[in-house]
Amino acid sequence: MVQEILCSKLTMFTHHRRPRILQSLQVRRYQVTGVFMKNWDSLDEHGVCTADRDCEDAYRVCQILDIPFHQVSYVREYWNDVFSDFLNEYEKGRTPNPDIICNKHIKFSCFFHYAMDNLGADAVATGHYARTSQEDEEVFQQKHIKRPEGLFRNRFEVRDAVKLLQAADSFKDQTFFLSQVPQDALRRTLFPLGGLTKDFVKKIAAENRLHHVLQKKESMGICFVGKRNFENFILQYLQPRPGKFISIEDNKVLGTHQGWFLYTLGQRANIGGLREPWYVVEKDSAKGDVFVAPRTDHPALYRDLLRTNRVHWIAEEPPFTLVRDKMMECQFRFRHQMALVPCVLTLNQDGTVWVTAVKAVRALALGQFAVFYKGDECLGSGKILRLGPSAYTLQKGKTKSTVATEGSGDGPGSGPKL
């Protein structure tokens, strides 16, 4: 068994500045190949392609560690499967998460199959801060098992499903972004950083002379936007749709904007001429108006009910308790690093779920992903397609039995009464 692991071939992708895990794999004496994945053509303020610069850094790492280096481009696939979805979601007034979509369609689909089929890899390693329920040795024993396409697959078709677990460094944990990863890819993936802290990883990099990597800044925000103004960037691809900023409290017009799709709930609205901050609380897609409130903790920002599309369950689809009882207690978050919120899931026949939070949460928005957890395990996620009424709406008595939706009837079925 040990000899089998030592001779195993493993491919690691170095996109997004994660070459530091290579040396930890070499310590375990795997046969490692580094691969740089380019997903976006972009220039910085000096006209230099940032992807080319990152590729050079990755190549230097492979030279220092004396391992093979490959590069692959998924610019077209990223545009079709990630960026086009990003624009379509914004045009509908939603708040997409391109990082989750990229992991699903590009890193753990296109790249994963390239590593398996073209490079003959036995496993893939990434720099995500996450863990799984299987030992490294078990990864190399996995064989390809095609996941059934049915809504509720036979629970005996895939035995010993691999669970996605939170990283030891809870602050750096990235399971949120991996919540749509397919089981087949997860079974053959290593997360060498999952049990380490960021400081310890930096120490390993320094000991292996990877100082040029240590000097690089953390990648934050949406990679293809970079340092550019977000509104200007979006308006390069979507036509402006001028509308009004309206106070949620008295319907007074406070200013104008270039498009209701540019704003997400909870965001501060930059309204010219007003000294006090106002925050986006509602959007009217028909008229193009954005409703705002004068406080960051205004009750119009708080909701305790949402409905997702069909949930992607990572290990067990759906969890046995949820199938048996039609309800299940767990926790969820809809932004990376936000505190987990206790909730109750209600399963619908089409695989969608209603999520009822134990207490109202701030700034839920359509298009975001509700990511579910139970203990250390990340169960999976679903895109938010419907929202319940805000605390402000309930206080005003405007609606007590209907569910606020985007457009007309987005999301099938009906939910629990409010």
- Dihedral (CA of 352, 354, 358, 363) sign: positive
Of 163, 217, 216, 225, give the one whose Cα is nearest residue 194: 163
Distance CA 106, CA 116 (A): 14
CA angle, 264 as apex, 260 and 270 as ends, to 5°?
70
Spell out the residues 6+ positions from residue 265 whose beta carbon is closer than 8 angstroms to its own: 95, 280, 281, 282, 283, 301, 363, 364, 365
Distance CA 190, CA 177 (A): 16
Q: How buried is residue 93: exposed, middle or buried, by Cβ count under 10 Å (0-12/13-18/19+)? A: buried
3-state secondary structure of 118: coil
Q: Which residues are catalytic?
A: 102, 223
CB 124 within 8 A of CB 191: no
